[in-house]
Structure 1
Amino acid sequence: MSINLNAGRGNRGISQATLDRAFAQIHFVDRVIKADRNQPEQKITLDDYLRRVMSPAKVRQGRERYRQRHTQWLRASERYRVPGRYIIALWGMESAYGKIQGREDVVSALATLAFEGRREAFFSQELMAALRIVEQGHVGDTPLKGSWAGAMGQCQFMPSSFLRYAADGDGDGRIDIWNNIDDVFASTASYLSKEGWQPGIGWGREVKLPAGFNPTELGLKDAQARSVNDWQKRGVRRVGWQCVAACRAARLDYRAG
């Protein structure tokens, strides 16, 4: 298996020792290619998605974890100003509260996907990011483990996301999103914060569209954003909630139907 690690000078900051150690264990993973080629193309609404993934048992477990992990999520919440309920919810959605993290060797999986070539540039970059994580010493001698696509730990961060968002939640100098709940919660909250979370705003609210609404105005691109006041002038109506920021930019997502 041959991969160009020098494309874009992407191996800067990674020692030869780390490269040698990683590539001494690397192997082609056929099941990773099969998984990548068998991804469903079907689009579903938000309501359908929630029915599939948010079982009553998962909701119940989330409430239990919210109570049990209060001290830990509160620390992350206060540090990043992200409500604990969203930290716990993402934990449940991404890894079933840490139970489903993936067992693939991430370096081998990413190298396999880069070698296969359909998304060579993307997976080559993720491979180099994974090697930087190894170089930084966050996992010691333990191989990086994750999903077939390279998502890692209880947050299911891709390696590049780890480098951008992962945070040390307990001050031990390492970031362990596989086993350390303080790091998991801090990293999740850090992700939301760095992606622009606004305290007190929430993530979204249900609205009712007027008859004959122009579908080209639907979407999440910046160009499709308007103030809440502007949307209301166009006939969009709130469903069971009070407007807290009428001038705030908002986008309409029609996936819920």
Structure 2
Amino acid sequence: MPPPAEPVVRLRDVRVDLEGHRALDGVDLDIHAGRLTAVVGANGSGKSTLVSVLAGFRAPTSGTAELRAGTAVALVAQHTADAARLPLSVTDLVSMGRWRERGAFRPLRRSDRATVSEAIDAVGLTPLASRPLGALSGGQRQRAFVAQALAQDADLLLLDEPTSGLDDVSRRAAASALRVATSRGAAVVVVTHDLGELGDVDEVVTLADGRISDRRGRSVMRGRTLENVGTVEG
């Protein structure tokens, strides 16, 4: 049997103190390629802080956070109505996902344009590709930002409440797009309040008071929320 693959991110005994408050307290977590990990917990449990550590935006107060060498990271945060004011079309926005590799001022190659088109199609926005962001619904704009992250071909994709407040069509499209990312080998971590919005996940990590209080293996979580998730073996 081959040895387990090196984690994309490895956290060991991570503690983060914010303004006198311990936001994370002794977190051990491995994030692996090709897996969809859902992070759940009540408000204030440390979910967003965990994402910021995984993204490399915040260094632990103590403990270690190790990102595999050469790993490219993409983050999709919650977007407000301000995004509607951006003078961009869907294609313009998603094309920005290629800037990490190409730079902001170099023309896209044919392969880049194909990647952009595939990302837009993955979130179900191909018919709206030329439409300005301001002409889209909130759910459609959020899907466009998910597509932008997909277009980066990142090794680690982090999403903070990407389906919160979306209509059913947008939620299903976003969840399907995340599976496209894992099928390509990306590690995907999603903060959510409703596991049912994600469908089939590989692991559920529950945070409480900055600690991992529970971890569950692969299961179809459709229709389950934080209040009614039972024991899952997998």
TM score, norm. by length of structure 2:
0.28
Identify the structure with the greater strand proportion: 2
Identify the structure with the greater helix proportion: 1
Q: Which has the higher contact order (CA 8 A, sep 6+)?
A: 2
